[in-house]
């Protein structure tokens, strides 16, 4: 398949099931809401080492938030419900409770509760106060700039993590420019997260390693400097750089839409941009139950 001079390989991205939640952080203005959100979602690129994959979903106007203040919605993904609960409590307690003027609310509903203010309220040392509004409980925790308002519970839903596509280009700068365009298009969509720095990963990985202590190692098949050394190399001499966009979504449909949107954004640049082809990372279908076939998505 050729789109605007760019080849789309006959391959698929392999993704797997995760647990996810959405939280809404509000503050006196968008600047402080974003500071809290960025701090809370830091060090959250991959569950391989970070425990969670998290990031900012969208900026919210005051009329969209529970307390009528400027807000930011964030998404957090983890491999299990228990790990998600741990990550939510630690990140909110250390990064939102501590941030001036903030409050935090659940941004998602399900029958699977996740503690939010339920445990963080104890920071109030007995001075905390609860209030129930429309069947939802909130906690007011005294802090030195006033009160920290925190909803008692959020919720978790089943989600999809690890969707991806690869951009193969003649140079590093060309691959980066194409991926930046894709990231901008994908980030306009709801319900999806691009967990890596700037939405882009240069260190695509494969399962396993020659070193027993590592569960993942460099994807040598797509490393330009290894094209003459690795028998798995899939790169010709014209490819100078490969970058990956990893996509998590609340549903399989969300990941499909985001993948298609990102690839379309790259293909609109055309072959003159230096982009040679689009591929994807998979493990032969052995790792994840979700398979996103690129040509099927773009048909």
183-224 tens-digit pLDDT = 999 999 999 999 999 999 999 999 889 999 998 899 999 999
Nearest to 88 by CA among 63, 69, 112, 64: 112
Q: What is the pLDDT of residue 287?
A: 80
Average pLDDT, integer, range 219-245: 96
CA pseudo-torsion sign 212, 218, 223, 225: negative
Interatomic CA distance for residues 11 and 206, integer angstroms: 16
Average pLDDT, integer, range 148-169: 98
User: CA angle, corner 9, sides to 277 and 233, nearest 5?
Assistant: 75
Nearest to 36 by CA among 76, 93, 89, 115: 93
Average pLDDT, integer, range 27-40: 98
Can you state the percent helix, strand and coil of the chain, rounding each to 5?
30, 35, 35
Centroid of chain to Cα 59 = 15
pLDDT bin (cut points 50, 70, 90) of residue 13 is: very high
pLDDT at 94 over 90: yes
Q: What is the pLDDT of residue 283?
A: 84
- Which single residue is written with the structure tokens 């996509």? 247
What is the percent of the chain with per-residue pLDDT over 90, rounded to a whole number? 95
User: What ranges do the domains of the chain cover?
Assistant: 2-14+160-298, 19-157
List 292's β-bridge partners, or say none.
13
Interatomic CA distance for residues 204 and 161, integer angstroms: 15
Q: In 3-state terms, what secondary structure has residue 61?
A: coil
Q: What is the pLDDT of residue 284?
A: 82
Fold of 19-157: Alpha-Beta Plaits (3.30.70)
What number of helices (H) and strands (E) belong to the chain?
Answer: 6, 18
Interatomic CA distance for residues 175 and 274, integer angstroms: 8
Q: CB–CB of 259/267 below 8 Å?
A: no
Same fold, 2-14+160-298 and 19-157: yes
Average pLDDT, integer, range 8-13: 96
Average pLDDT, integer, range 89-111: 98
pLDDT at 111 over 90: yes
Average pLDDT, integer, range 276-283: 94
2-14+160-298 carries CATH number 3.40.50.150? no
């Amino acid at each position: 398949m050729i789109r605007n001079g760019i080849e789309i390989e006959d391959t698929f991205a392999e993704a797997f099931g995760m647990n996810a939640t959405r939280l809404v952080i509000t503050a006196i203005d968008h600047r402080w809401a974003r500071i809290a959100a960025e701090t809370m979602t830091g060090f959250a690129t991959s569950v391989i080492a970070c425990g969670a994959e998290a990031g900012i979903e969208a900026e919210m106007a005051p009329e969209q938030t529970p307390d009528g203040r400027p807000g930011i919605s964030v998404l957090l993904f983890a491999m299990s419900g228990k790990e998600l609960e741990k990550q939510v409590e630690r990140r909110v307690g250390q990064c939102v409770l501590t941030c001036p003027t903030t409050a935090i609310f659940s941004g998602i509903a399900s029958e699977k509760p996740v503690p939010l203010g339920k445990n963080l309220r104890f920071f109030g040392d007995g001075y905390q106060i609860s209030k129930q509004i429309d069947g939802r409980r909130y906690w007011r925790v005294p802090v030195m700039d006033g009160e920290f308002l925190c909803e008692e519970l959020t919720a978790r839903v089943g989600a999809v993590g690890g969707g991806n596509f690869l951009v193969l280009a003649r140079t590093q700068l060309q691959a980066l420019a194409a991926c930046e365009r894709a990231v901008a298009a994908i980030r306009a969509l709801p319900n999806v997260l691009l967990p890596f720095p700037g939405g882009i990963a240069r260190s695509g990985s494969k399962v396993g390693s020659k070193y027993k202590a590592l569960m993942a190692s460099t994807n040598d098949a797509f490393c330009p400097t290894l094209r003459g050394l690795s028998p798995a190399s899939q790169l010709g001499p014209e490819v100078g750089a490969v970058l990956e966009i990893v996509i998590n979504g609340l549903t399989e449909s969300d990941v499909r839409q985001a993948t298609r949107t990102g690839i379309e954004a790259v293909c609109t640049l055309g072959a003159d941009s230096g982009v040679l082809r689009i591929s994807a990372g998979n493990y032969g279908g052995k790792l994840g139950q979700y398979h996103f076939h690129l040509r099927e998505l773009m048909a």
